Chains A and B, each alone.
Chain A
Amino acid sequence: MNAPLSPVELIKSASRRLRGTLVESLADPVTGAIAEADTQLIKFHGSYQQDDRDLREERRVAKLEPAYSFMIRTRLPGGVVAPQQWLQLDAIATSYANSTLRLTTRQAFQFHGVIKRELKATLHAINASLIDTIAACGDVNRNVLVSANPLLSRAHAAVYAHAQTLSEHLLPATRAYYEIWLDEEKVAGSGEEIEPVYGSTYLPRKFKIAFAVPPTNDVDVFANDLGFIAVIGNGELVGFNVSAGGGLGMTHGEPNTYPRLADVLGFVTPDQLIAVTDAVVTTQRDFGNRAERKRARLKYTIDERGPAWFKSEVERRMGFAFAPARAFRFDHNGDRFGYTQGEDGRVHLTLRIEAGRIADRPGAPHLKGLREIAKVHRGEFRLTPNQNLIIANIAPTARAQIDALVKAHGLDGYARATPVRLHALACVALPTCPLAMAEAERYLPQLLGKIEARLERHGLRDAPISLRISGCPNGCSRPYLGEIALVGKAPGRYNLMLGADAHGQRLNVLYRENIDESEILDALDPLFARYAAERDGSEGFGDFLVRAAIVSIKPTTAQAEKSA
């Protein structure tokens, strides 16, 4: 690889292990932004610089800089928080952020609207709740996902513990975070810390790990760089099927970028988890494309050099070979709403949070409601990978009270929403995301209303169709795994993608390009009509489209493995 390194690589290598000029940037009172290079580095600290795009133009003519603010994302393996932590995060949302909590598709909290001069105080406050934001963004391992609502409680607990261990194992060794935000004293080696796994310039790109506990694939394990599919025997965790090379982002108009589902490599036992992880991560570290960030994800490394090469390199680094993969089956990649009960008898309530945004709105004071629930709840909260929230481990004595609070604050939408509304995902997009080409979260309610109306017309009100909308092709709402997906291309215009399954094992394909809402509805309407008339029993919408050859999809490795 003789191509020159991408500018971000140079920024990383000059950064003294991710310090850059962040301290100086924070102290500059003339702008609410940080220095250009620091905007790359602050990602590793769990934050993105953003601005309110709705205000950009009017501020420009007023000779004002953009309304800069910072998004902060928590590191929260498996998305579990205690009620006391919830209350602290809620307080941070109202004092420093824009009075909302955003649940992400990676089981993390996001704060939006934090201004630069309050950034340090906000990070202090988050860390005071015993949560950090390290490596929530940037060229490192991101938040580790764990299936949120399995029926198998004991195994799940074991998986969750492994996820935490892995997340900590993959934390950067640099003390930069602690020095800059938490006033830790500089110690010897500050600025030159050894990064045993990442090396001095970290990874070529983001790295995503997920743990799935079958039959639930809520984490969309095959969309991750590294996946662990739990194998349970007699209620105990036996080991994991390992998958690698998944990743969804692409760039419009660049055919050498594409979403890819991971390949299953084989089986490992729990004690081999760190070894396989290090092997995969360091392979990507050493072979990933550092010249062209658009081609830097592990999926491209594997496709360029070949899956066989990749597997053997990983095995070489592990020092052992993968055992053959064990059989597994996923039945759904959505959430199960309402009350569920684990094998241990504990009760969980999964609430539907539209687009993951917890806010107080007229008639729906969700932020307040969850604050009240957190004050009385003795279990924990779990964020799902589908932007929803589980009030987990509800004590029998608290159930009635919590249920009353849920109803009183309009949090009981789960009980009435149509399936398409329940399962819909939307990324944040406007007004804060600098990459958004079209609306997503803000548009979802209107879009769903229109879709529901069309479905209603065809007697499909209860059809469990998964619909996902992203403001741009990066695909943060995993649109390429949606039975119906809208991928933003320009204001008010989307690519319409169809035909994924409902298990997260088949990608969809482009159906119509660059169309607006009325064209989208006009395109879907006849398909709904045919689906209503021709579906085979409980056949899913995406499966129907493939069977009826309305869309044609070539099978992927993940799909081929399904039948093992």
Chain B
Amino acid sequence: MSAEPIHALIPLPEDKAGLLTRLIDGLDTSALNWLSGYTAGLAAAHAFAPAREAAPLVAVETTPSQPLTIVFGSQTGNAKRVAEALARDAENAGLAVRLLRADAYPLRELKNERLLYIVISTQGEGDPPDDARGFVEFLASKRAPQLDELKFAVLGLGDSSYTKFCAIGTQLDARLAELGATRLFARGEADVDIDTVAKPWHARALGAARETLRAPTPLATVTPLRPVRTAPAWTREKPFAAEVLANQRLTTRDSAKDIRHIELSLRDSGLSYEPGDALGVWASNPPALVDAILGALKLDGQTAVAHESQTLPLRDWLLDRREITRLAKPFVIAHALRAGHDDLDALVASPVALPRWLRERQPIDLLHAFPAAWNAQDFVAALRPLTPRLYSIASSLKHVEDEAHLTVARVAYHAFGRAHVGSASEFLSSRVVETRAPIFIEANERFRLPQDSARDVIMIGPGTGVAPFRGFVQERAATAAPGRNWLFFGNPHFSSDFLYQIEWQQALKRGQLQRLDLAFSRDQAHKIYVQQRIRQSGRELYAWLENGAHLYVCGDATQMAKDVHAALRDVVAEHGGKSVENAEIYLADLVAQRRYARDVY
């Protein structure tokens, strides 16, 4: 025992050191041990704090009133990408910028902000992305401060096939104004073809920031802590042509689904990924669909069309540069004007029927249901740009070396009197071995394995949602992670849809997977889904969570994610002896600790 006063040795701020010495005074051994464990646990949770994103691009000693703060809320990485691009350009313009994810933003500093840009996506029917829930709730609450000295602008990202398009962006934009802040320019509402709106908004934001922060402060020339990031060789804008190594159907011939296992080579690309990341694919549209559209409009595919400083044959626009498998509201409106059909006009005006139409039909259906004349030029201009599709990567580099594997459900169905296919799923499903696909890596930092490999991992991944968990289990096996692994999987039939069955059996046998709970919905008279299995194993699941497990959900956003969340909440309530509200808080807390991540689409 040292003779020196204890608090002189404590590496804490003076006031906290004093508090600590008073706290530990008189505690017995078990209390002291408990205290050490408690704080160790807190330290481990903090190890996950997005320190990388939270690290300001410049030293924090800048006076709080000066820098531009960019806050983003992102589910699939798009909002993050846009925010990062703006931050980079602002930095390169010599501005003091900090870039923060919404859940890392220190809310108490909001009242000190002077220039704030928010880039935020809206999920499904008007929900914020997981990482922004706290931020949005705080702003909406009574605790939000007056912001008379704040200037701001908001860019919302969303999907116009939903009624509540960009709802969160709209909500934040309105609320900030309500709190007294000054809107620098109109909010942006980017649809699925993000760049159409995001690029102009970016330009305006940059210009406005330069003007607002024009008076340089003594600290404006502080060298950034991090050098300007050089872009990697292959990116979203410049994708890598990856060779297809394998294209194997995983479901049997008599299955209702056609799900493929695709293996792509990343050799010589310099690309790498972590389990949980997504692969972006720039697919070409199905040629047969292009021809069907040209036929329906009686247009010649060879017609040269110049648009946005590119001149290409119409057919090429439709094959590679335009969205032709998804309907967008602006196109429907433009088509209605040309069709001049009362029923279509009524549909466009209906807030109930139109969203359903947009969800259920493709452009080809519209062209056939309500014929109208288009010329090639206008048609290309009216259609949205083709966007890449993201697929959760189903492998770990530590297991497959220079490859990326995907689990792709081929979209193919019959409706409205014709066959329908998807864009990327059709493209990938029809890739013959040795052909190539333009791809890029989309990091998903919110969906990562625990850094502490001794942590248990619970994975809920029905259908193709199982994909990233294949990568998780491969990774944990390759690194001999001591933590336990538990997978919940479901699909319609055991005998025809049990994706990667042999691999899971091997993993169980080798102790790389400790538990596998299955729900084959159509194998018995009553449907069984993963949420029932979650409830059935509630006691043990809760025990794993209490033991520090990390929880992951991947798959369908519309129904499954809600049902699974409800089941998890009920499990926490029942086995944790909590009210439903407190169970929700428990789960929200897991999110905050970065122990509950969702990759839903």
User: Which residues of A does B touch, CB under 8 Å?
Assistant: 29-32, 55, 58-65, 67, 115, 117
Pick from B253, B494, B503, B508: contact of A63, CB under 8 Å:
B503
**In this complex, which of A30, A58, A59, A65 has the most chain B Cβ atoms within 10 angstroms of its Cβ?**
A30
Instruction: Say whether B248 contacts A61, CB under 8 Å.
Output: yes
Q: 1/0 contact trace for B249-287 toward A, CB 8 Å?
A: 111110000000100000000000000000000000000
Instruction: Say whether B500 contacts A63, CB under 8 Å.
Output: yes
Q: Across the interface, name the chain A residue whose C-beta is closest to B508.
A: A30
Pick from A31, A59, A117: contact of B252, CB under 8 Å:
A59
* B261: A residues at CB distance < 8 A: 63
CB-CB under 8 A for A64 and B248, given A29-B518, A30-B508: no
* B494: A residues at CB distance < 8 A: 29, 32
Q: Across the interface, name the chain B residue whose C-beta is closest to A33.
A: B505
Instruction: Say whether A63 contacts B495, CB under 8 Å.
Output: no
- State which residues 227-248 of B face A: CB under 8 Å: 248
What is the distance, in angstroms, from A432's C-beta to the closest C-beta of chain B? 15
Given contacts A63-B248, A63-B250, A63-B502, 12 further A-B contacts (CB under 8 A): A29-B494, A32-B494, A55-B252, A58-B252, A58-B253, A62-B248, A62-B250, A62-B252, A63-B261, A63-B499, A65-B502, A67-B495
* A62: B residues at CB distance < 8 A: 248-252
Instruction: Say whether A64 contacts B502, CB under 8 Å.
Output: yes
* B248: A residues at CB distance < 8 A: 61-63
**When chains A and B are docked, how far (Å) is the Cα of A30 from the Cα of B487?**
12
Instruction: Say whether A30 contacts B252, CB under 8 Å.
Output: no
Q: Answer yes or no: B62 CB below 8 A from chain A CBs.
A: no
What is the distance, in angstroms, from B520's C-beta to the closest C-beta of chain A? 8
**When chains A and B are docked, how far (Å) is the Cα of A34 from the Cα of B513?**
20
Q: Answer yes or no: B137 CB below 8 A from chain A CBs.
A: no
Instruction: Say whether A64 contacts B252, CB under 8 Å.
Output: yes
**When chains A and B are docked, how far (Å) is the Cα of A271 from the Cα of B498?**
58
Q: 1/0 contact trace for B498-522 toward A, CB 8 Å?
A: 1111111100100000001010000
Instruction: Say whether B504 contacts A30, CB under 8 Å.
Output: yes
What is the distance, in angstroms, from A320's C-beta to the closest C-beta of chain B? 57
What is the distance, in angstroms, from B206's C-beta to the closest C-beta of chain A? 49
Closest 8 CB pairs of A and B: A63-B502, A64-B501, A63-B500, A29-B518, A62-B250, A65-B501, A30-B516, A65-B502
Q: Answer yes or no: B125 CB below 8 A from chain A CBs.
A: no
Q: Across the interface, name the chain A residue whose C-beta is closest to B519.
A: A29
**When chains A and B are docked, how far (Å) is the Cα of A64 from the Cα of B506?**
12
**When chains A and B are docked, how far (Å) is the Cα of A84 from the Cα of B471?**
56
**When chains A and B are docked, how far (Å) is the Cα of A117 from the Cα of B250?**
22
Residues of A contacting B: mostly: loop
What is the distance, in angstroms, from A24's C-beta to the closest C-beta of chain B? 14
* B523: A residues at CB distance < 8 A: 117
What is the distance, in angstroms, from B435's C-beta to the closest C-beta of chain A? 19
* B249: A residues at CB distance < 8 A: 62
Q: Across the interface, name the chain B residue whose C-beta is closest to A31.
A: B505
* B252: A residues at CB distance < 8 A: 55, 58-59, 62, 64
Instruction: Say whether A30 contacts B500, CB under 8 Å.
Output: no
A-B contact pairs, 20 of them (CB 8 A): A29-B494, A30-B508, A30-B516, A32-B495, A55-B252, A58-B252, A62-B251, A63-B248, A63-B261, A63-B499, A63-B500, A63-B502, A63-B503, A64-B250, A64-B252, A65-B501, A65-B502, A65-B505, A67-B495, A117-B523
**When chains A and B are docked, how far (Å) is the Cα of A217 from the Cα of B523?**
47
* A55: B residues at CB distance < 8 A: 252
Q: Across the interface, name the chain A residue whose C-beta is closest to B499.
A: A63
What is the distance, in angstroms, from B98's C-beta to the closest C-beta of chain A? 47
Instruction: Say whether A30 contacts B505, CB under 8 Å.
Output: yes
Q: Across the interface, name the chain B residue whose C-beta is closest to A64.
A: B501
**When chains A and B are docked, how far (Å) is the Cα of A65 from the Cα of B505?**
9
* A117: B residues at CB distance < 8 A: 523
* A64: B residues at CB distance < 8 A: 250, 252, 498, 501-502
What is the distance, in angstroms, from B209's C-beta to the closest C-beta of chain A? 52
Instruction: Say whether B518 contacts A30, CB under 8 Å.
Output: yes
What is the distance, in angstroms, from A26's C-beta to the closest C-beta of chain B? 14
**When chains A and B are docked, how far (Å) is the Cα of A511 from the Cα of B263?**
52
* A67: B residues at CB distance < 8 A: 495
**When chains A and B are docked, how far (Å) is the Cα of A64 from the Cα of B502?**
5
**When chains A and B are docked, how far (Å) is the Cα of A55 from the Cα of B252?**
10
Q: Across the interface, name the chain B residue whose C-beta is closest to A67.
A: B495
* B505: A residues at CB distance < 8 A: 30-31, 65
Q: Across the interface, name the chain A residue whose C-beta is closest to B506.
A: A63
What is the distance, in angstroms, from B503's C-beta to the closest C-beta of chain A? 6
- State which residues 18-70 of B face A: CB under 8 Å: none
What is the distance, in angstroms, from A37's C-beta to the closest C-beta of chain B? 16
* B495: A residues at CB distance < 8 A: 32, 67, 115
**When chains A and B are docked, how far (Å) is the Cα of A58 from the Cα of B523?**
22
**When chains A and B are docked, how far (Å) is the Cα of A32 from the Cα of B501?**
11
* B504: A residues at CB distance < 8 A: 30
**When chains A and B are docked, how far (Å) is the Cα of A64 from the Cα of B255?**
13
- State which residues 394-419 of B face A: CB under 8 Å: none
What is the distance, in angstroms, from A97's C-beta to the closest C-beta of chain B? 15
**When chains A and B are docked, how far (Å) is the Cα of A115 from the Cα of B493?**
13
Q: Across the interface, name the chain A residue whose C-beta is closest to B498.
A: A64
What is the distance, in angstroms, from B597's C-beta to the closest C-beta of chain A? 26
**In this complex, which of A29, A55, A60, A61 has the most chain B Cβ atoms within 10 angstroms of its Cβ?**
A29
* B499: A residues at CB distance < 8 A: 63
What is the distance, in angstroms, from B284's C-beta to the closest C-beta of chain A? 26
* A31: B residues at CB distance < 8 A: 505
**When chains A and B are docked, how far (Å) is the Cα of A29 from the Cα of B520?**
10
* B498: A residues at CB distance < 8 A: 64
**When chains A and B are docked, how far (Å) is the Cα of A64 from the Cα of B250?**
8
Q: Across the interface, name the chain B residue whose C-beta is closest to A61.
A: B248
**When chains A and B are docked, how far (Å) is the Cα of A183 from the Cα of B503?**
34
What is the distance, in angstroms, from A30's C-beta to the closest C-beta of chain B? 6
* B502: A residues at CB distance < 8 A: 60, 63-65
